Amino acid sequence: MKKILIIIFSFACLNTFAQGNIVNIQYAIGFGTGDLGDFIGSPSFRGFVFDYRNKINDNVGLGLEVGWNVFYEESDYDTYTKDNLSLTGKQWRYNNQLPMLFAADYYFSPDQTVNPFAGLGIGTMYSRRNTDMGTYSIEEEAWHFALRPELGVIYEVSSGFGLAATAKYYIALESGDLPTQSYVSLNLGLVFMPY
């Protein structure tokens, strides 16, 4: 708890040196990889990412990221066997991913209309997996330690407003009921740079 307070306080102090804020609200399409991709092969077209960065100098922004993607797949009527037990029916699979990260970005061309950047996020991700069959639902959940590298570009349309395209790769390490969960997120966003 003490560490969390120190981190929050540190971010609050950054305002002292603020050279501008960036708010990026993005529509996110997710593609599961690894265990998540095996569980649900379909991409997630339901998701968003909210990014906030406080620029500590022209090239570096520090801040927070909160996002959500729900992966969903309806499987065919099929038989699922484990050892001597076989279960036949339709399955509805859901995987909710909620990353909450501290993030740092490096902006390569801060004074240009087209401003590419690279970033890294670190924090936690909440995963909830539901496997529904018949009137039953198996629920597994976990709070993971998560990492997220990112590449993106901001196109400044007018003063204080722009568009963004980003690619993020989330890696949430094995925890709770679930193994490592990972997915790629391709995002299109509206960028607001109030000051």
Name the nearest CA neighbour of 152 among 47, 67, 28: 28
Q: How far is the CB of 10 from other proteins (least distance, A)?
A: 25
Site for other proteins in 114-143 (CB under 8 A): 132-136
CA atoms within 13 A on the CB side of 145: 2
Residue with tokens 């629920």: 139
Between residue 57 and residue 116, which ones bind other proteins under the rule CB under 8 A?
68, 70, 72, 79, 81, 84-90, 92, 94
* Minimum distance, C-beta of residue 28 to other proteins, in the bound complex (Å): 10
Say how many CA atoms lie within 13 Å of 61 toward its Cβ.
26
Q: Does 194 bind other proteins (CB under 8 A)?
A: yes
Residues touching other proteins, count (CB under 8 A):
31
Partners of 69 in the β-ladder: 47, 97
DSSP output for 140-152: EEEEEEEEEEEEE
Among 11, 14, 20, 27, binds other proteins (CB under 8 A): 27
Q: Does 23 participate in binding other proteins (rule CB under 8 A)?
A: yes
Cα dist from 169 to 9, 12, 30, 94, 157, whole Å: 28, 27, 9, 20, 27
Task: Return the number of the residue (46 or 171) whose C-beta is nearest other proteins.
Answer: 46
Nearest to 63 by CA among 102, 15, 95: 102
Give min distance, CB of 19 to other proteins, in A. 17
**32-51 positions binding other proteins, by CB under 8 A:** 45-48
Task: Name the site residues for other proteins (rule: CB under 8 A).
Answer: 23, 25, 27, 45-48, 68, 70, 72, 79, 81, 84-90, 92, 94, 132-136, 160-161, 190, 192, 194
